[in-house]
Amino acid sequence: MSASAMVPPSAAAAVARARTLLCVPATARAPREMAAELAAAAALGADVAELRLDRLAGFAPRRDLPVLLAQPRPLPALVTYRPKWEGGEYEGDDEPRFEALLLAMEMGAEYVDIELKVADKFMKLISGKKPETCKLIVSSHNFENTPSTEELENLVAQIQATGADIVKIATTATEIVDVAKMFQILVHCQEKQVPIIGLVMNDRGFISRVLCPKFGGYLTFGSLEKGKESAPAQPTVTDLINVYNIKQIGPDTKVYGIIGKPVGHSKSPILHNEAFRSVGLNAVYVPFLVDDLANFLNTYSSPEFAGFSCTIPHKEAAVRCCDEVDPIAKDIGAVNTIIRKPNGKLVGYNTDYVGAISAIEDGIRVLASQPTDTTTSPLAGRLFVVIGAGGAGKALAYGAKEKGARVVIANRTFARAQELGNLLGAPALTLAELENYHPEEGMILANTTAIGMHPNVNETPLSKQALKSYAVVFDAVYTPKETRLLREAAECGATVVSGLEMFIRQAMGQFEHFTGMPVVDCKFRALANSLVNPDAMKAAGITAHKARL
């Protein structure tokens, strides 16, 4: 199937529907602990709790189910007893498992989940015994890939034929465009009024868990806390509610997000979602783990996917993928912001260069006690060394040259440094050569690579000895806020400028492109600063999503 054929149909055209439920899997090993997880899930704002019976140690149905299903219950219960052959932990025969699920029904469980492979056998067992208050979920899990849309439609029909009340299909993403197939199935089922849980597992499928309310999914899962996931790349219920505002996502919600590889470290979803919330915008911002940018943009081409931030390694490819490119972004050769216009055309901008250069300028002015509104840049005439020749490196080099600096490009791969140097009329060096490069004192250094970014926090692009020649050192990495490069530069007496400043300022520019609204600096700054303060984030009940890449 071509990419264009997988574009999700308009969700706004879907009929009115109930809100997607938020379900928290209870995965404790002891019944009383699992019962306590139900109460904890209710306190966090969940709608349903999934009791994973296969996770219980020494589970005895007649002893343990009364503990788990005792009334009054803090949440409706979805009872699952997953066998190992379908990704669970139960290794026995089907009959005892079936009997336990039937007992759960009789004891008042609101939902019971059974696998498609054995659904017919289970239906025969429960014939005439299923309470009207209990809904039967028949599920299919594919841990290898995501089939074609046609195959998924056939699977829905096959599950419906068993007599299921709710269809559940979970597949695995080999690339992010796989999720579009599931969105298409959700909309199709919504139009046919077929209740469906449709999710795509692993990091590339993460968006299926957040955006399912937009496309009509019956239910999505969020773990009680990090480390208690019941499936790969499952977000926490706290993140779904507090970061992604999932209970407000609906058919008309506009989708924005950050395109990158890796992307799980990014704080942009927290920042932009809070900004959207503050101005009352019906929008959500999600992480897109993308391998092929052109394929991604061709697939998610509906107007509902309205804008994107673009990070490593896609900033240069974004120039080629956009229908129009802002002249400055074209000169830089890198795009970090993509807007989809009402006519469907993609327009690319670059907010990196303003964000980074203004942050460095202000850092120098503070050091020199200069006013921030001076007409002469403190970079004018200074030797400005840029490490990195990718999209961010191009933006910094371009911006510094525009301000009158004498730019030098250094990169691990010399050919890349030379290519950018030739474009700007700037000398090029390898990182090895940069170690002994100190033609003058008071130089400015800007690292635009990912060296030193979490989790590789002990790495640095330049030795401490070499840093002694620099008066100002900037690092585009902002996780952690103080990188090894900045720490050692400060120890050498340099003025250091955190990548957090670039992050804040480029994000402010992106917000204005996304919304057409003027940004309030202090709101962005206060929130962004809290993102690198774990205590502040914990107090806010936020645990930033970190995909396992």
CATH number at residue 442: 3.40.50.720
Whether 153 and 222 share a structural domain: yes
Question: In 3-state terms, what secondary structure has residue 304?
Answer: coil
Confidence (pLDDT) at 5:
41
Whether 32 and 61 share a structural domain: yes
Other beta carbons less than 10 A from residue 147's beta carbon: 16
Whether 330 and 282 share a structural domain: yes
CA–CA distance, 304 with 296 (Å, rounded to integer): 14
CA–CA distance, 78 with 382 (Å, rounded to integer): 65
297 inside domain? yes
Which residue type sits at 305? F
547 inside domain? no
User: What is the band of 476 on the pLDDT scale with cuts at 50, 70, 90?
Assistant: very high
Task: Give the end of a domain, one of 195, 224, 250.
Answer: 250
Which one has a higher pLDDT value, 68 or 526?
68
Other beta carbons less than 10 A from residue 7's beta carbon: 18
Task: Look up the CATH number of the domain holding residue 510.
Answer: 3.40.50.10860
Mean pLDDT of 109-130: 96
The total number of structural domains that make up the chain: 3
Q: Is-contact 484 454, C-beta < 8 A?
A: no
Which one has a higher pLDDT value, 525 or 487?
487
User: What is the band of 483 on the pLDDT scale with cuts at 50, 70, 90?
Assistant: very high
Which one has a higher pLDDT value, 450 or 519?
450
Whether 406 and 519 share a structural domain: no
> At 171, which helix (H) or strand (E)?
strand 166-172
Return the DSSP state at 121.
Answer: H
Query: Can you list the positions of beta strands (E) in 391-468?
Result: 406-411, 428-430, 443-447
Whether 69 and 127 share a structural domain: yes
Whether 117 and 160 share a structural domain: yes
Whether 62 and 150 share a structural domain: yes
CB-count burial class (<10 Å; 0-12, 13-18, 19+) for 132: exposed
Nearest to 30 by CA among 51, 69, 59, 50: 59
Which residue type sits at 243? V
The reply to whether omega before 313 is within 30° of 0 (cis) is yes
Confidence (pLDDT) at 549:
16
* Domain enclosing residue 487, as ranges: 354-501
Which one has a higher pLDDT value, 4 or 104?
104
User: What is the band of 338 on the pLDDT scale with cuts at 50, 70, 90?
Assistant: very high
Q: Annotated catalytic sites, by residue?
A: 141, 168, 315, 352
257 inside domain? no
Which residue type sits at 108? G
Whether 364 and 326 share a structural domain: no
Confidence (pLDDT) at 427:
97
548 inside domain? no
Confidence (pLDDT) at 532:
57
User: What is the band of 363 on the pLDDT scale with cuts at 50, 70, 90?
Assistant: confident
Q: Which residue is associated with the tokens 């079936």? A: 98
Q: Nearest-5° angle of CA 368, CA 406, CA 334? A: 105
CA–CA distance, 388 with 477 (Å, rounded to integer): 12
Distances (CA, A) of 440 to 437, 444, 466, 469: 9, 11, 12, 7
